[in-house]
Amino acid sequence: MGDKSFRVAVVGATGAVGNLMVQVLEERAFPVAELKLLASARSVGRTLKFKGGSIAVEELREDSFKDIEVALFSAGGSVSRKFGPVAAESGCIVIDNSSAFRMDPKVPLIVPEVNPEAVIPRPGIIANPNCSTIQMVVALKPIFDAVGIRRIVVTTFQAVSGTGKRAIEELRQQVAQLSEGRPITREIYPHQIAFNCFPHIGAFLDNGFTEEEMKMVNETRKIFNDPDIAVCATTVRIPVYFGHSESVNIETRRPISVAEVRDLLGRAEGVVVVDDPARAGYPLPIHAAGRDETFVGRIRQDPSVENGLAMWVVADNIRKGAATNAVQIAELLLARNMI
């Protein structure tokens, strides 16, 4: 990456994704000259480990970005809307993990393996896509480039870590309560999550879909730069800690064989093909957890429609689906001398 190093801030550093952003910066040896950890006032005084030392968390304020060159935001949409433009105006490049700017036509929405060309010089703010969108487009990009995609029908099976630390604890607590015959307590989700699942992620909209489902529709079109792709999504919360799974059914514009798809995906950046059903070989969230790749299996023709394909896609939602993708965007900017 060269000899230059950068002053980096992580906003929302004490959250599940913020914690991981700090870890991934170290794991991937991003050239950090100084790391500033920012969060709300209630987190001030906490420390996080980085490169063998401890860094104290500071309160996020409008003057927090003086001399900061790159800021990774993962503190929710309202914080991003308030402080993202402030950081960008100070000369900092903001890589934002919330949904606040994703559909802004002036803001690039980037998955480095998929649409690096969409990064623009001096971008100000760059949006990190939704976790479930990221893994799907990583898996579909080689097919999209080869034969085009007309339609996508996707059902997701999403881990509780996508909701945050308190949801992880709620699942743990409910499993313990049920195993001990005690009444469950519920604060985060509208229903019991332990040993259950429900098709409800984000608020329901007037069209009957949820916010999460429409994110997948709109973000996929923007990332592929193809407003004509038809996308129908159903998003489901399941009692898994880490790793989103997706059943993805596509109609391609031109024919392609399963063997060709396996070959394309086997050579694709960031993709691991696990497709040996005779030996129960297919992607599992327990295998994807802690990994940065997107895993694809159960690749098969869909005979019910012309040029139909079905597959199963799994990735760690807070790594590739959030923290790792954000750091990869910073690496892309560095490789292109944009920071």
* Closest C-alpha among 202, 269, 187, 270 to residue 236: 202
Please list the active-site residues.
Answer: 131, 244
* Closest C-alpha among 34, 71, 68 to residue 50: 34
Helix (H, G, I), strand (E, B) or coil at 282: coil
d(Cα 139, Cα 295) in Å, to the nearest integer? 8
d(Cα 15, Cα 166) in Å, to the nearest integer? 10
d(Cα 75, Cα 97) in Å, to the nearest integer? 8
> What are residue 244's DSSP bridge partners?
315
Order of strands across the sheet that contains 294-302: 230-237, 149-158, 244-252, 308-315, 294-302, 271-273
Dihedral sign from CA coordinates of 233, 236, 242, 247: negative
